[in-house]
Amino acid sequence: MPFKGFRVRFATTNKGKLREISLLLSEYSLEVEAVEAEKLEIQDDEIIRIAEYAASDLAGRLGYPVAVEDSGLHIEALNGFPGPYSSYIYRSIGLKGVLKLLEGVEDRRGFFESVVAYAEPDGRVRSFRGIAWGWISQAARGTGGFGFDPIFIPEEGDGRTFAEMTLEEKNRLSHRGRAMRSFGEWITSTQA
């Protein structure tokens, strides 16, 4: 019997993230519904623990399965910073602040990490991780995407930042795309 798809509830208020997730999961005949519930975000050095805790807490409180996606930019010259603190750093110092931290730094290698955590109300949690390696650009470029997209050049790309790509191009190379495809493959295989 072929998989007919169903709705996946994602806890996010980030409209850019929701567009990416919806497009990626549509490839698996999955419909995405945004859940606008307050996520409990613990402080931790590991994105996977932050996402799993938030998903588990939400599923328990809401009484239905829910997914959470958390991500971070890890810059090697800054010992992995900002990592799990990426959202706060973006809000507080922005792209210009990160670029200022890297002034005079030659090794601008880093990676984006994405974790999708899917939790059931009974406490079961599954996680899916995606990584995209690349470099931090010298200046912000592009108007697409969101967050740190204008300063991240994926190594598998053609020298453009994520913000210079179409959504479809970014999704083929991105950390979120990889995590979402793993999640999509898993959930469609378990729901078939």
CA nearest to 26, candidates 10, 9, 7 = 7
pTM: 0.92
**Overall number of domains in the chain:** 1
57-76 pLDDT, tens per residue?
A: 999 999 999 999 999 999 99
Catalytic positions, written as ranges: 70
2 within domain boundaries: no
For residues 67 and 9, the answer to whether their CB atoms sit within 8 Å is yes
Amino acid at 69: E
User: How far is residue 83's CA from residue 167's CA, in Å, rounded to a whole number?
Assistant: 23
Is 56 part of a structural domain of the chain? yes
Nearest to 138 by CA among 81, 85, 87, 100: 100
Residue 1 maps to a domain: no
Are the beta carbons of 59 and 66 closer than 8 angstroms? yes
Residue 68 inside a domain? The answer is: yes
List the structure tokens of 169: 């191009």
Extract the tokens encoding 186. Answer: 């898993």
Is 27 a member of any domain?
yes
pLDDT digits (tens, 9 = 90+) for 96-127: 999 999 999 999 999 999 999 999 999 999 99
Q: Which two tokens stand for residue 23?
A: 């497009």
Note down the domain range covering 80. 7-191
- Residue 185 CB-half CA count within 13 A: 8
In a domain, 41, yes or no: yes
Q: Mean of the pLDDT values across residues 73-81?
A: 97
